[in-house]
Structure 1
């Protein structure tokens, strides 16, 4: 694990100021190689002492050690020469997808698919932008013939978690993995002996700890926070993988085609 990967892994446990330092390092690794601790502190708006403390926290190293470790990492992030916005967004997505692929294994994906297929009913929890991802997953599962419910309201999450059965499955979606409403509902569901699958960006998050299995999507803020790009992109990539794998089963493929045909027929009749 490189020093940058260690920072990404520990990110969720950092303080607000430490997260500010972490993001700057992750987004500007080449700049760190030639920067002094004083210059870096000025750019981030913090103190050399706090940067020194941060280095100790991530691996008991000095700032010079941090620079050396970053310098030893093989360059992965290419510089986009084009001025086209489309090219910059494409490069941004490429980094997010590559970061996500590193965290996924065939065994993990298959384990999640097994739980989805075996569940009597699937509850998908998400709020805000993650609620939109939850709704997308729910619609896909429903179109494949699975009994799935998307819950984006905090009160309804608690209500559903209190009546859920052991044969059911809860999928919690949260980029941070620390969304309070989702964590409360998942704790209640876990107390009832229900299996939990987490979709998040942080292995050290509370969501990941509560989950029987979790899949990680790379946190897009590690690439850039200055662009208004979909923060759910990595988790939607994971959802796409799950969907495509499920459609390898003829039963789900057949049902999905039936629902597609029904929708298209309804659209034709509207004209």
Structure 2
């Protein structure tokens, strides 16, 4: 299992303090090679045992294996040549993809009578594109502009329906989370596509996809790109038509 696979599967097991430490470690990049476990512990006024426990929650044997595997993952990216930030986002996002999970998602999409997308702001654009592409292949799919209508439709879903929630932050206090919670209570299957973090929306849903992004606010407004979200929705759609329409998406 690769470095990012372990993070994807086990990051939700971390508490808030451990999440903060993990974010710090990942942000060090190649410089982490020169940082000892005692230095990390000292930075957070905690003990080395806490750092070891954190890495073991992520299925590493300890801090050294975490560091070695992280640096190896960075080396793979570097070997691909000089990359722009968008290239790095896609490489990291691709490393997070679990093919077994993708297979479950395509099957869930195939079996769903109706597919409702919950997304607001800039996340509506990948949701709308995915929804329209599903309509082309005969699936009943819908997006919403008004969050009140979105939440109303969520609560009248059934166990034969699928809710796909898209949110970079995945935060608890949001219309997307509220709609997804109502859909889940109604018995619908739920799938989330969020930024790579331990977040409330991903913890709520039955199935999860994660993408890397660079948070950006301008004059207090969210301007974070959804490039990795577009990548994931396209990847999921391509896998669906390969499996159920038997089309070779590698042919252009």
1:12–1:202 contact (8 Å) kept in structure 2: no
The answer to whether residue 239 in structure 2 is matched with residue 245 in structure 1 is yes
CA RMSD of aligned residues (A): 4.1
TM-score for the superposition, normalised by structure 2: 0.70
1:116 matched residue in structure 2: 109
Contact 2:90 2:231 in 1 (8 A): no
**1:210/1:97 CA distance change after superposition, 3 Å:** closer
| Shift of residue 123, structure 1, vs aligned partner | 0.5
Counterpart CA distance in 1 for 2:180 and 2:6 is 27
Residues 241 and 81 (structure 1), Cα distance of their counterparts in 2 relative to 1, 3 Å cut: closer
How far off its partner does 1:126 sit? Answer: 1.2
Do the aligned residues in 1 keep the contact of 2:55 with 2:66 (CA within 8 Å)? no
Q: Structure 1 residues 136, 12: CA separation in 2 closer, same or farther (over 3 Å shift)?
A: farther
Contact 1:202 1:208 in 2 (8 A): no
Kindly state the Cα deviation for residue 3 of structure 1 after the two structures are TM-superposed: 7.6
Unaligned 5+ segments in structure 2 are 217-221
Matches of 1:30 and 1:229 in 2, distance apart?
28
Q: Paired residue for 2:219?
A: none
Tell me if 1:187 matches 2:188: no
- Structure 1 length-normalised TM: 0.66
Q: Which structure has the greater CA radius of gyration?
A: 1
Which residues in structure 2 correspond to 1:42-81 (within 5 Å)?
47-50=43-46, 55=51, 58-59=54-55, 66=63, 69-71=66-68, 73-74=71-72, 75-78=75-78
2:224 counterpart of 1:197: no
Q: Point out the structure with the larger helix share.
A: 1
Determine if contact 1:158/1:188 at 8 Å carries over to the other structure.
yes
Contact 2:93 2:212 in 1 (8 A): no
